Homo-oligomer: A and B are copies of this chain.
Amino acid sequence: MDRADQVRVNPEKLREAIMRPNARLLKLDGLNPVFDNQGDLAWGAAYEASPDNDLLLLGVDGDTPCFAELNGGGNSGPASDPRLWQALGALSPDQAAVYATARSLVDWHARHKFCAQCGKPTSSRKGGWARQCDKDDGGCGAEHFPRTDPVAIMLSECEGKVLLGRQPMFPHKRFSALAGFIEPGESIEGGVKRELWEEAGIKVRDVQYVASQPWPFPSSLMMACTSITDDPKLTLDEEEIEEAHWFSLDEVKASMNGDPDAPFIAPPPFAIAYNLLVHWLDGQDS
């Protein structure tokens, strides 16, 4: 799907896209996805949208404009609902990206109805890719754009073992890579070093970027990295990390294979932490 930024910023092209008879509307239940009988994302027609809601231009697929309705978000249940995760995991990467975009943007609009600069109401612009504080309504005229929060998710290796931890909210026995937001004034590599120091009390070196993935809960960009530690002594930040251990190659393999005797339950395959562990295992075997 082409994100069609030249349509977003052109009110005439945007109107033409909305009016096109083949224009589609992503079905959403609040922020949650709706699936068709094949387990794919369900679509309706753009004209089915409520006239009270603005439309978000997700993009143009061939000659089909694709929209989502800025429905206010509403009750969506917890992002940690395992059924939601399972259904998302079954989507193709392209469909997962379409849903991630829609969920992040619908939620952003719902939580940004007012201008952070002057407190006056804002309204959707550019096909849902901006909000504008209206000078005619006494506002300051500021334009606001959706936010995407960069998050580092990282492994550290020491003496052939890898560090995994669990947050208090994780399902039983689940361990995963540690993660944290990159702060203003930091590089990705600096954020990885700080997070592993704050959360696990370890000093790491040789931070290497591996891969990235959007994560729409609510709007993160996950950036997966590896690193090396010389001293394995852990000092946990118990507010953030309930438990953390160094796991051996065989322990990680058993967990990734779903062995019932494995020491932990691995993150699900569509989470970038899973791919980070696959990357680490590949590096150990070579």
CA distance A184 to B97 in the complex (A): 9
- What is the size category of the interface that chain A forms with chain B? 35 or more
User: Contact: B114 with A118, CB < 8 Å?
Assistant: yes
Chain A interface (Cβ < 8 Å from any Cβ of B): 3, 5-6, 97-102, 104-105, 108, 111-121, 129, 142, 144-150, 181-190, 194, 198, 209, 211-214, 216, 219, 221, 223, 237
> Quick check: A98 and B185 within 8 Å, CB to CB?
yes
Report how many copies the assembly holds.
2
User: Are A221 and B97 closer than 8 Å at their CB atoms?
Assistant: no
| Chain B neighbourhood of A186, CB < 8 A | 97, 101, 148, 214, 221
Tell me, in angstroms, the Cα distance from A100 to B187 when the chains sit together. 11
Residues of B within 8 A of A183 (CB): 3, 101, 129, 146, 148
In the complex, the chain B residue whose C-beta lies closest to that of A208 is B209
The docked-state distance in angstroms from the alpha carbon of A98 to that of B120 is 33
Q: Using A150-B221, A219-B184 as known contacts, say yes or no to A119 and B120 having CB atoms under 8 A apart.
A: yes
**Distance in Å: Cβ of A276 to nearest Cβ of chain B:** 14
The 5 closest A-B pairs by CB, nearest first: A101-B185, A114-B119, A104-B184, A100-B185, A188-B212
Least distance between A43 CB and chain B CB atoms (Å): 17
Kindly provide the distance from the CB of A51 to the nearest chain B CB, expressed in whole angstroms: 24
